[in-house]
Amino acid sequence: MLEMPLSFQSILALSVNPSWRTRGLSAAAKYTGLEIDVLEQPPISREMVQAFKKIESSIGKTPSNGSAYAWLAHLDVIKHAITSNMESVLIIEDDVDWDVNIKHQMQLVSDNIRKFTEVNATDATPYGHAWDLLWLGHCGEHTDADTPRIEFSDPTVPDRKTYTGWANKYRYNVDSGKRAIQRGVNPVCSFGYALSRKGAVKVLEWASKGGNEAFDIKLLQGCQWKSFDCMVVTPEVMHHYTPLKELGYKSLVVEENGKGPSTKELAFEHAMGGTENIVESARCKVLFDATCQKDHRDYY
């Protein structure tokens, strides 16, 4: 029997075209023994983007051009997973990064999701079936004394003093040296998320309705409104890698919003950037033989 990558049937990467993002992704995947499929995205016309933006919103928010492009691209990947009849899938963005110890981390995640959701011992599935969406890569989540969760020791977790992100103002209330599995409260950013078969259908139906400022905020809303069962790992085990800002880096969403293009990407190939909240970056290890956890920043 073939080993499934991180115990998901497939890992699919969202990408516009080959770039420093995909080359770094492939190098990190090879170094950590992961098999990732970088899908060829179908074209998304400007007319499609404008039509999607016009979907009526009860909360009065609509996505920018860049966010709408990204949103539609995520929907295409989810459709691919459904039509391919995947039992489970991990969807990642092409600039995502993870720790060199990702397989050990995900074994701990598997063990503790099973414990948290009280999976029967006769059920041999890695994560059980009590979830639709498992949020692995994000940029913050509410975690306080009232959040149902289970904590577990993980020597690869970032120190609380170095953890950075908007969620710091909620104290990321997990004991030092530990991660937590919890029900989704307010997760933000869609760097990496897994879907079960039933979850993929639920999320596609929900997110296709549009009507919010960004894809990840629509998913957050779905978690809050219990439109699907949402589980979150906190602190996250995946985050996006960013080149040095001084080199003129701008995200694809920012570019599409008309804020100007990034510097030619050759500049990003040979200068090490950084990744928040990942202690031993797989990208930086394989490309620069270094760690590159970003320094703490005050977000409020």
pLDDT-derived band of residue 229, with 50, 70 and 90 as boundaries? Answer: very high
pLDDT of residue 170: 60
3-class state of residue 13 by DSSP: strand
pLDDT of residue 1: 31
For the record, the structure tokens of 160 come out as: 């609380």
pLDDT-derived band of residue 171, with 50, 70 and 90 as boundaries? Answer: low
The C-alpha atoms of residue 193 and residue 137 are separated, in whole angstroms, by 6
pLDDT-derived band of residue 143, with 50, 70 and 90 as boundaries? Answer: confident
> 286-289: long-range contacts (C-beta < 8 A, 24 or more apart)?
286/27, 286/28, 286/30, 286/31, 287/24, 287/27
Is-above-0.95 flag for pTM? no
Q: 174-206 pLDDT, tens per residue? A: 888 999 999 999 999 999 999 999 999 999 999
Q: 249-260 pLDDT, tens per residue? A: 766 765 655 555
Domain limits of the chain?
5-241
- Looking at CATH, the fold of the domain delimited by 5-241 is given as Spore Coat Polysaccharide Biosynthesis Protein SpsA; Chain A (3.90.550)
Neighbours of 4 (CB within 10 A): 15
The C-alpha atoms of residue 203 and residue 40 are separated, in whole angstroms, by 21
pLDDT-derived band of residue 262, with 50, 70 and 90 as boundaries? Answer: low
Percent of the chain with pLDDT over 90: 72
Q: 21-74 pLDDT, tens per residue? A: 999 999 999 999 999 999 989 999 999 999 999 887 777 788 999 999 999 999
CA-to-CA dists, residue 184 to 49, 167, 180, angstroms: 29, 14, 11
Instruction: State the Rg of the chain over Cα.
Output: 18
